[in-house]
Each structure stands twice: as C-alpha cells, then as structure tokens.
Amino acid sequence: MSNTIPKRDHFSSKFGVIAAVAGSAVGLGNIWRFPYVAGENGGGAFLLIYLAFIALIGVSVMLSEFVIGRSAQRNALGSFKKLAPGTPWFLVGSMGIVAAFVILSFYSTVAGWTMEYVVSSLLNRFQEKDPSQVNQMFEQFIAHSWRPVFWQILFMFLTGWIVWAGVKKGIERYTKLLMPLLLFIIIILGIRSVTLPGAMEGLHFLFYPDFSQLTGNSILQALGQAFFSLSVGMGALITYGSYIRKSENLGTSAFQISFADAIIAILAGVAIFPAVFAFGIEPGSGPGLVFVTLPNIFGQMPGGYFFGILFFILLTVAALTSSISVLEVVVAYMSEELNLSRHKATLLATGAITLLGLLCTISWGMGKEWTLMEMTVFDMMDSLSANILLPLGGLLIVIFTGWTLKSQVVKQEISNNGALKAPLFQIYYFIVKFIAPLAIAIVFLDNIGLLNV
Ligand code: PHE
C-alpha cells in the first residue's frame, strides 16, 4: 500500500522551503498566543525560559522532524512505519494526527476572530472607542450566536482550499510574499507602542525576569509555547520535511527559522505589553489579550486606520500558512496510508475538524457552561495541545531520533550524504540523545508533582 506512492511533490527552491516552514511556524502562536500566555505567567522570567527552550530543545526537535520526514519520504505516520517497521513507533504519528485535530479546532476560532477584525477595521468600528468599549465589543462579538462561527467556517474553507490545490502550487505560493510585510507592521506597531505614555512598565514586565512568578506549571507552559510556536511535536515538520529536496541544508534551515520565529514573538510582545499597561489592561486577561489591546494602539497612531486593516489581513494570512501545515498532516496521512484521493482526504479532514472547531467557538458564548475542571472546550483544546500533546510528541521524536535511528542515518541526512560539513552535528546529537529527553521529562514530571524541584 504505502510502497506504491507516486513521485512526491517537492518545494522548488531554497526560499520555498524556508518560506513554507517559516510560514508554518510564524502565526497566531507568535502574535496571539505568546503574549497571552506570557501575560498570564508573569512576563520576563517566562520569556527567558521560553527562549531557552527554543534554543536548547526546539531547534533540535525541528531538525529531528526534518530528518525523519526527509529520510522516510512519507507522511507523519508512514515515516515511523517506514523507518521502524513492525514497532509501535507509528503511534507517535497517530498522536500527531490527533494533535492536528485538536490544534486546528481552536486555531480556527482565533483565526476567525482575526478575520472579523479585518472587517471591523475596514468599517472603522474602533474609532473613538475607549479601552473598555473596545473590550466590550470583543466580548460581545465572541459570544455572538453566529458571527464567530461564520468566520471560523470561512477560515477552514480557505485552509482546505489551499491544501486541496497541492503542495507546490498551494503552499509555497501563499507563503513567499507576505511575511516580510507582517514583520514590518509589527515593528511599526512596536515603535508606536513603546512611545505611549506609561509604556516603560510594559517593557519592564516583558524583559525584567522576576523568577518568583514562576511555577512548575509556567515552565511547562513555556515549553509548550516554544513547541507550539515552532510547529514541532506533532509531525507537521515531518510532513513538510518529506517535501524538502535532498540538497537543502536542514540544520541551517532549522536554525534560521527558529531564530526568526523567536524574534517575531519578542516583537509581538514589544508591541503588546507597553500598550497593555498604557491602556490599563490586565496582562493576564487571557486569550482575548491582543484583540482588546491592538485596536487601542491603532486608534492612537497616524495612519492607524490603514495599518489596522493591513495588520489583521496579514495576520489572517500568517494564520493560514500555519493552518495549512496542520491540515496537511492529516491529508498526507489519509491520502498515503488510507489510499484516499487528496481531494477526498481534504474534504473529509476539513469537514471533521470544522465540526470539532465549532465546539471551541461556541464555548465562548452559549457553550460557556460546558466546563471540565473549570476549563471550557476552547481552553481544554488549547492546553491539551500545547501542554501535553506537543511536549509528549517532541519527547518521543527526540528519543526516536537519538536512540532508534542509527546515528549514521541521522548524520547522512543532516550532512546530505557527506556533502555538507555539519560542524555542530555532535552538539545536536548530544542534545537529542540526552539533554532534550531529560529536560522534557523533568518538566513533565515536575508538573504532575512527581519531583520536588
Ligand atoms: N506554529 C504555528 C503558529 O505559531 C501553529 C502550529 C502549531 C502549526 C503546531 C503547526 C503545528 O501559529
């Protein structure tokens, strides 16, 4: 079955790989999720640990996913079957498919909110509103009976449509152009934000590490956010890795993309937190944070009307280039392992995920009461993916790469069969074999109270 796979599509240029993987990494994770989770976990100390996790573990998990995908030339589940036939390792791939459903269900809710904000900006709805009115508008909107649902369905439709179009034509084309523009706007926003009266408090919050704010749970959250932001731990980059040409330098790509991803999260923090303090917003106010903060900044800058529109359009695009990488995990699996056509697979997966997603969206309105351990459906999906599925997936991926794959195979893949020097290979391999598995395991065990550190 999976031996008769037709020739695979590959990204066509160096820029194509970087653009597609960076497109996957940069998204709502950096601009929506990072500020809200950092805000809930005390700011500076969280940022520091988050960056340490990216540098120490995230880059290596990313590279390991590339290695697995490119050497196997299969989807996230098929790759494990091919590299470790007859073993239970394929379950890591199955977990990735579950994670894809979970992530996209709430991701599409937030992407839908972003699309509503494109329209609100266009209609100038934020004009002359004070921070409490901006907040009220947001709360009314997310609890509305059909508007957030409409946007979510539209977002899922767009995601499905791009994936339907296939790898080269679909994914690469949409990622190349718009990211530099997004970066530019975030920088402009940051400049406006830090020049607001009272902005210093926000910078202090973001950059001054106060370790007394950290709990075992915030350390797990920092790890989860690092993985979420880099798109690692669920096989999205195994799947994309399988589309990367054999001549590309995997190590350099992983390093550059992780670096860019972290910078964008920091810049988002620089745009958000000064404004949070300047406008008297609570930093720990949760998933609505950027939606109740940004419109106030746009309201107070020259050209704010146009910047606002452009920003929310670009954020929607950034969300799309991430969501397609999540959907691609499911579609590549269904078409290669279950022998469905790509089109049928896309329809089925998009439809099923949209249904699950509706639960997340309405959990801000009429589904508010459906809670478990004080978490709504949205909260549950958000926390299940970032705090459990991705770290666990990442743990298993590094163990697989460090202990199950032969070191020669890994080395060959990273050095392109000896064509590249790969000077940092030993360091990478040491991290993958020892440091990363231990660190992730300790963070987990500490969090469930099994360690007293
Ligand atoms: N990294 C994406 C973002 O920051 C989200 C994502 C998570 C994508 C996991 C793929 C896999 O928005």
Q: What is the pLDDT of residues 391-415, one digit of tens each?
A: 999 999 999 999 999 999 999 999 9
pLDDT of residue 263: 97
Give the chain's residues under pLDDT 70: 1-7, 11-16, 166-177, 449-453
Q: Give the position, in ligand 1's atom list, of the atom nearest the Cα of 230.
A: 1
7 lies in some domain? no
Query: Which residues neighbour 406 within 8 Å (Cβ) at sequence distance 6 or greater?
Result: none
pLDDT of residue 128: 87
pLDDT of residue 433: 98
Does the CB atom of residue 233 touch ligand 1 within 6 A? no
**CATH number of the CATH domain containing 213:** 1.10.4160
Do the Cβ atoms of 281 and 198 come closer than 8 Å?
no
Closest residue by Cα to atom 8, ligand 1, is: 231
Q: What is the CA radius of gyration of the chain?
A: 21
Q: What is the rounded CA–CA span in Å between residue 392 and residue 234? A: 9
Domain count, the chain: 1
Closest residue by Cα to atom 4, ligand 1, is: 29
Look at the block and give the residue holding tokens 């992780």: 258
pLDDT of residue 164: 87
Q: What is the rounded CA–CA span in Å between residue 170 and residue 157? A: 14
Instruction: Give how far Cα 44 sits from Cα of 51, 213, 269, Å.
Output: 11, 9, 10
**Interior angle at CA 46, CA 40 and CA 50, nearest 5:** 120
5 lies in some domain? no
Rounding to the nearest 10 degrees, give the CA dihedral for residues 57, 58, 64, 69.
Answer: 160
334 lies in some domain? yes
**315 C-alpha vs ligand 1 centroid, how far in Å?**
13
pLDDT of residue 174: 62
Closest residue by Cα to atom 9, ligand 1, is: 231
4 lies in some domain? no
Residues 309-354 pLDDT 10s? 999 999 999 999 999 999 999 999 999 999 999 999 999 999 999 9
Does the CB atom of residue 114 touch ligand 1 within 6 A? no
128: alpha, beta or left? (left if phi > 0; alpha if psi -120 to 50) = left
Do the Cβ atoms of 304 and 296 come closer than 8 Å?
no
Query: Which residues neighbour 302 within 8 Å (Cβ) at sequence distance 6 or greater?
Result: none
Structure tokens at 321: 């280039």
Q: What is the rounded CA–CA span in Å between residue 423 and residue 392? A: 29
pLDDT of residue 170: 52
Burial environment of residue 73 by CB neighbours within 10 A (0 to 12, 13 to 18, 19 or more): middle
Tell me phi and psi for residue 375, to 5 degrees: -110, 135
Does the CB atom of residue 32 touch ligand 1 within 6 A? no
183 lies in some domain? yes
Query: Which residues neighbour 110 within 8 Å (Cβ) at sequence distance 6 or greater?
Result: 28, 32, 287, 319
6 lies in some domain? no
Do the Cβ atoms of 278 and 200 come closer than 8 Å?
no
pLDDT of residue 18: 76
pLDDT of residue 209: 95
Domain that holds residue 287: 14-447
Residues 302-311 pLDDT 10s? 889 999 999 9
205 lies in some domain? yes
Rounding to the nearest 10 degrees, give the CA dihedral for residues 427, 433, 434, 438.
Answer: 130
Does the CB atom of residue 108 touch ligand 1 within 6 A? no
**389 C-alpha vs ligand 1 centroid, how far in Å?**
13
**19 C-alpha vs ligand 1 centroid, how far in Å?**
14
Closest residue by Cα to atom 7, ligand 1, is: 231
pLDDT of residue 1: 38
Q: Give the position, in ligand 1's atom list, of the atom nearest the Cα of 319.
A: 12
| pTM score of the predicted model | 0.95
**65 C-alpha vs ligand 1 centroid, how far in Å?**
14
**DSSP assigned state of 371:** -
Q: b or e along 185-198 (b: 16 or more beta carbons within 10 Å of the residue's beta carbon)?
A: bbebbbebbbebee
Does the CB atom of residue 346 touch ligand 1 within 6 A? no
Q: What is the rounded CA–CA span in Å between residue 445 and residue 453? A: 10
Does the CB atom of residue 320 touch ligand 1 within 6 A? no
Q: What is the rounded CA–CA span in Å between residue 413 and residue 426? A: 14
Q: What is the rounded CA–CA span in Å between residue 273 and residue 205? A: 7
414 lies in some domain? yes
Look at the block and give the residue holding tokens 């459903």: 101
Q: What is the rounded CA–CA span in Å between residue 440 and residue 432? A: 11
